[in-house]
């Protein structure tokens, strides 16, 4: 499974280039167990001066966690909103601190900036992507 940046009006070519450089344009989740999307991650990715005001993104905005299914072999990804301003899945605001299972084609948006990712779980996709460098930065600074 991976998250692919949803290009919207707020995503200027400069921001898209910065997200690509930071490894946040596509986030490959297959080799990770937990992913934290938060303010520091986006500060690291955005060019200076900041073209988006990230002060409204919580330090730990939402967490994605891989969970093993009952068969013991398969897994799914759950997203939990831990923010003040909210996280949406397909336009519906999530209730805070409750995990929601992610499915192929869903749009995840971090409010209020509407930084969005589309969930891609295409089993036939064999394209290999490098692990996000921004995730490595976040883990090193923790």
Number of separate domains in the chain: 1
Per-residue confidence (pLDDT) for residue 47, from 0 to 100: 73
Whole-prediction pTM: 0.77
Task: Quickly count: other Cβ atoms within 10 Å of residue 29's Cβ.
Answer: 21
Note down the domain range covering 57: 2-141
- Over residues 106-130, the pLDDT tens digits come to 999 987 667 889 899 865 333 333 3
Q: In what order do the strands lie in the sheet with 99-101?
A: 34-37, 62-68, 75-81, 99-101
10-28 pLDDT, tens digit per residue, is: 788 888 888 898 888 899 9
Cross-strand pairs, 92: 89
Residues 45-63 have pLDDT tens digits of 877 656 677 888 899 999 9
We report the CATH number of the domain holding residue 7 as 2.60.200.20
Task: Output the six-digit token pair for 126.
Answer: 């064999």
Residue 50 confidence (pLDDT): 65
């Amino acid at each position: 499974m991976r998250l692919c940046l949803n290009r919207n009006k707020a995503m200027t070519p400069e921001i898209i280039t910065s997200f690509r450089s930071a490894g946040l344009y596509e986030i490959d989740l297959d080799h990770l167990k937990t992913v934290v999307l938060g303010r520091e991650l986006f500060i690291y990715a955005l060019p200076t001066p900041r073209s988006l005001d990230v002060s409204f993104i919580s330090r730990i905005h939402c967490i994605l966690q891989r969970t093993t299914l009952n068969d013991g072999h398969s897994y799914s990804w759950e997203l939990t909103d831990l923010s003040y301003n909210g996280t949406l899945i397909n336009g519906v605001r999530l209730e805070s601190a409750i995990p929601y299972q992610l499915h192929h084609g869903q749009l995840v948006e971090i409010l209020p900036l509407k930084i969005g990712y589309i969930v891609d779980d295409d089993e036939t996709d064999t394209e290999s992507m490098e692990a996000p460098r921004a995730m490595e930065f976040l883990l090193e600074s923790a």
